[in-house]
Chain A
């Protein structure tokens, strides 16, 4: 049970982002896809089954506001979790660029999938104006996270800026 606590906290972080920070951090309607980022990060650093179930629950939390789409979100993010894990197994992810590309791919896949799930009009237009910028925007926190994880950003570095 204790092992589940970090994942519950990730889910609460996701909810907090959606309720409080999404509006504050979005630029011209483009926001960070924290849900995909969390699923990919769990897939990179945890086991396949963990990534699978985490993706499923992230999908449930993400789609809770729209009950008709909750199943689609759960299915999409489950698949993203499992695909990300398989990619991690098959690719060399030592390079930061490779990891960022994987995040970008998963994010783009999810954003396009969301447009399909929501049955949005002008799919191609919104792909260019929402899905693609959202993917690029999501790469920024991913990049910062990987730098932090590799120890390239430390508290001392951060303090030295000020």
Chain B
């Protein structure tokens, strides 16, 4: 019985094996172009979807890489653009400074602001010139618009300057037209004011204010500001004069130290 069962099993196996071998031989021989048809059918049924998946994933990965590269390039371009814009602005400023004439008896030392201090308004700044450039305490600082402040401390490579916006700073000044004098200072909450100007004095809105040269720190003739408002209170000896500073203290960058030239 087991022999019969074994023979039947083997016979069944042999039939299947023979069928497989015959099909394989037909494929090898290429009968009826069978090998091409079978290959095409299998490729389109099984390989094709995976090829599509692989291609899609590759494209997705490439797109992500490309996006990152483009984003990086955009950032680089933005940085370069802002640097170029900054360079253009600087060039414009320096061009306007080219014809700058120092006050008589003074030499100018160009300097660049490296730090600014102050809460709402800058009151002091650090410039990149110091003792090595013959910068000393009390030397006036100007820019192309007018008087900026004075040097208060010096190190070999840097100097700290007190700006006109510091309430402790005072400038002896005079009216450009009438040559009458007063003292310019900065008052917190009110801005730049001209003190000690008599109510009888000749002053009007728009008058230019220049340094008078008195006091020994600032030379005469440096532009400080223009008159913005004048009040003449009754029974008071002095006017209340507010000024519009000649210098915009929020954007000071290129400055000049005025160094006196000894004869």
Query: Which B residues from 1 to 52 make CB contacts under 8 A with A?
Result: 12-13, 16-17, 20-21, 23-30, 35-36, 38-40, 42-43, 46-47, 50-51
A61 CA / B21 CA spacing, docked (Å): 16
Given A19-B54, A48-B13: A64 and B24 interface contact (C-beta under 8 Å): no
A56 CA / B43 CA spacing, docked (Å): 16
A67 near B21: Cβ-Cβ < 8 Å: no
* Minimal beta-carbon separation of B85 from chain A (angstroms): 47
Counting CB contacts under 8 A, is B261 at the interface?
no
A65 near B24: Cβ-Cβ < 8 Å: no
Task: Give which listed residue, B13, B16, B28, contacts A71 with CB less than 8 A.
Answer: B28
Task: Give which listed residue, A49, A56, A61, contacts B12 with CB less than 8 A.
Answer: A49
Task: Give which listed residue, A11, A18, A19, A63, contacts B39 with CB less than 8 A.
Answer: A63
A48 CA / B30 CA spacing, docked (Å): 28
B39 near A67: Cβ-Cβ < 8 Å: yes
Q: Interface size for chain A: under 10, 10 to 19, 20 to 34, or 35 or more residues?
A: 20 to 34
**Interface digits, A32-70 against B, CB 8 Å rule (1 contact, 0 not)?**
000000000000000011001100100111011111101
B35 closest partner in A (C-beta): A67
Counting CB contacts under 8 A, is B53 at the interface?
yes
B16 near A52: Cβ-Cβ < 8 Å: yes
A74-82, A125-133, A140-148: which lies at the B interface?
A74-82
A71 CA / B12 CA spacing, docked (Å): 22
B28 near A53: Cβ-Cβ < 8 Å: no
A61 CA / B36 CA spacing, docked (Å): 13
A74 near B20: Cβ-Cβ < 8 Å: yes
A71 near B26: Cβ-Cβ < 8 Å: yes
A64 near B47: Cβ-Cβ < 8 Å: yes
Query: Which A residues from 1 to 32 make CB contacts under 8 A with B?
Result: 11-12, 15-16, 18-20
* Interface SS of B by simple majority: helix
A52 near B42: Cβ-Cβ < 8 Å: no
Query: Which A residues from 60 to 107 make CB contacts under 8 A with B?
Result: 60-61, 63-68, 70-72, 74-75, 78, 82
B15 closest partner in A (C-beta): A49
Residues of chain B touching chain A, judged by Cβ–Cβ distance below 8 Å, are 12-13, 16-17, 20-21, 23-30, 35-36, 38-40, 42-43, 46-47, 50-51, 53-54
Residues of chain A touching chain B, judged by Cβ–Cβ distance below 8 Å, are 11-12, 15-16, 18-20, 48-49, 52-53, 56, 59-61, 63-68, 70-72, 74-75, 78, 82
Contacts A/B (CB < 8 Å), 25 sampled: A15-B47, A16-B50, A19-B50, A19-B53, A20-B50, A20-B53, A48-B13, A52-B17, A53-B16, A53-B20, A56-B24, A59-B24, A64-B38, A64-B47, A65-B39, A65-B43, A66-B39, A67-B40, A70-B27, A70-B38, A71-B25, A71-B28, A74-B24, A74-B27, A75-B21
